[in-house]
Amino acid sequence: SVSTQDPALHGQYSTQVSILSAMELIWNLCEILFVEAAAAGPLLLRLLDWVRLHVCDVDSMVREVLGSENPSKHKLFWNVVDIFVLQGRMDEARHLLSKEATANPTSMNMYKILDDLMKKMPVPTLGNTQTLTELELKWQHWHEECQRYLQDGTFASNPHMESICKILLGDEDAILEKKELMTTWYHFLVTRLLYSHPTVKPMELRFYAQSSMDLFLGGESSPEPLDMILMAAFEFEMHQVIKECSIVLSNWWFVAHLTDLLDHCKLLQSHNLYFGSNMREFLLLEYASGLFSHHSLWQLGVDYFDHCPEYGRVYLELHIERIPLSTEQKALKVLRICEQRQMHEQVRSVCKIMAMKALRNNRLGSALSWSIRAKDAAFATLISDRFLKDYCERGCFSDLDLIDNLGPSMLLSDRLTFLGKYREFHRLYGEKRFPEAARLLLTLMTAHIAPCSFWMTLLTDALPLLEQKEIIFSAEQTYELMRCLEDLTAGNPDKQKFQEDDVETTKVEMLRLALARNLARVIVKEGTVEGS
């Protein structure tokens, strides 16, 4: 956002940066108080780190002062020293003060004393090198020493140093004077704790927090949402923190993840909400559902649902069916997710949608490919019927590249098998392999691979074979054909109509004639085999 030229965009980015900073602030505090559950002693150190990291940006001011020729003469010099002290950064403060001392030899004495006090200040340490009681004792002595120096008027001639000494003593007014530098009440809180109650216990924080906020704001301004959230954290009201964040933030991202973290640390009592799932799952479900409306983040939503043991799967099933399948590639990704989770219904549903789309666009090969993926025999039958219909209407097959190359997928549905075999028949016929073609044709009918509606067409296809000069059908086969024909005509319920239809009747008659003639020829032929 630093680099954006466009002011509107800049404004937008700054807002987002500030929201993100606020989130980081809250998150880190929650980590310190809830997750790490820092105890008295380390607690203060953590809070100091927190303030230094998040609350004010002193670096630019520091750079400016240090970079100048005469740092101690810089107008912001004392501001920098003060902020170092307020943040407990003693070494850095002392370093700067030494510059002042060298520049101003008259204050050398004062400087030495102050420097010594700052060096000796007892602070909590990590690890077990001292107990809290030891620390408190040491601190008490140090505090009294500072008190003595102040009362003796050691720093009387230098107001800046005197103010620093007062801060070291935890004088609230002195600290409050530096309000502008601290900028926030929680910085004030931590500074106060550093210089008056370094061994503060976690449960005591709430009192100090409340009073700090009151003193800092001083009735001039009212607390903002961020302040309320932080206050709730200091009061260890986890649910309140979550609730306030939910109200203020525009999406569930922050709250869902924070709750998840707290839940994993076993810090949230499982509050059963009205519909049975717990708060963590509820928030994760909400967040993930939000992701699903995004054109590419839905894939992340899947992972979130996977981690919701109670309702995750149901939500996933519902959401995944509603992803717009704009391209085949997207559909394939959705399918892969469903297959990995054994969501068979959704697999079938997605494949059916894609197959229907393909069918409507006359992409029969694509439609078949989708049915194969879903192992959807019914749809494969539908597609085969389409092909057959096309054939009947046009007299030739469309999409031969598909039908000729069905391979094992032919077995997916009977109708598809028939289609493949029927095409094979035509191929054999085209290659003049008549006996094989004839055998295949017969098998199609006798093995009931062909649907009854197609028998007439098949028998009609047999005609040219019957009319050939050489005999193709054996007697046995001819009898079979005749039987098929009779089955067909006998089985027809609407005999009346059938007989009146001229074309149909002619066809049947021609067939009967051809069959009879063939039978005659073949009987003779077969009868004379044993001849000369």
Cβ proximity to other proteins: between 365 and 435 the closer is: 365
| Closest C-alpha among 199, 150, 155, 153 to residue 171 | 150
Cβ proximity to other proteins: between 133 and 329 the closer is: 329
| Closest C-alpha among 382, 374, 419 to residue 400 | 419
Cβ proximity to other proteins: between 196 and 299 the closer is: 299
Amino acid letter at 41?
Answer: G
d(CA 204, CA 140): 19
Q: How far is CA 404 from the centre of its chain?
A: 43
Are 446 and 484 in contact by the 8 Å Cβ rule? The answer is yes
What's phi and psi for 106, nearest 5 deg? -65, -30
Cβ proximity to other proteins: between 128 and 326 the closer is: 326
Least distance to other proteins, CB of residue 299, Å: 6
Least distance to other proteins, CB of residue 100, Å: 31
Residues 6+ positions from 427 with CB-CB distance below 8 Å: 404
Least distance to other proteins, CB of residue 108, Å: 40
Cβ proximity to other proteins: between 388 and 472 the closer is: 388
Are 37 and 202 in contact by the 8 Å Cβ rule? The answer is yes
Cβ proximity to other proteins: between 183 and 398 the closer is: 398
Least distance to other proteins, CB of residue 343, Å: 16
Least distance to other proteins, CB of residue 357, Å: 8
* Cα separations in angstroms, 243 against 247, 258, 279: 6, 11, 11
d(CA 117, CA 129): 22
Cβ proximity to other proteins: between 318 and 400 the closer is: 400
Least distance to other proteins, CB of residue 422, Å: 17
* Cα separations in angstroms, 468 against 229, 473, 514, 515: 95, 10, 10, 12
Cβ proximity to other proteins: between 398 and 443 the closer is: 398
List contacts with other proteins (CB under 8 A): 295-296, 299, 326-330, 332-333, 336, 360-366, 368-369, 372-373, 398-399, 401-402, 405-409
Least distance to other proteins, CB of residue 190, Å: 32
Cβ proximity to other proteins: between 229 and 374 the closer is: 374
Least distance to other proteins, CB of residue 175, Å: 37
Are 232 and 29 in contact by the 8 Å Cβ rule? The answer is no
Least distance to other proteins, CB of residue 509, Å: 38
Residue with tokens 């050691």: 154
Please state the three-class secondary structure of 327-362 as a single string: CHHHHHHHHHHHHHCCCHHHHHHHHHHHHHHHHHCC
b/e per residue, 125-161, with b = 16+ CB within 10 A?
eeeeeeeeeebeeebeeebeebeebbeeebbeebeeb
What is the CB neighbour count within 10 angstroms for residue 248?
16
Cβ proximity to other proteins: between 45 and 380 the closer is: 380
Least distance to other proteins, CB of residue 400, Å: 9
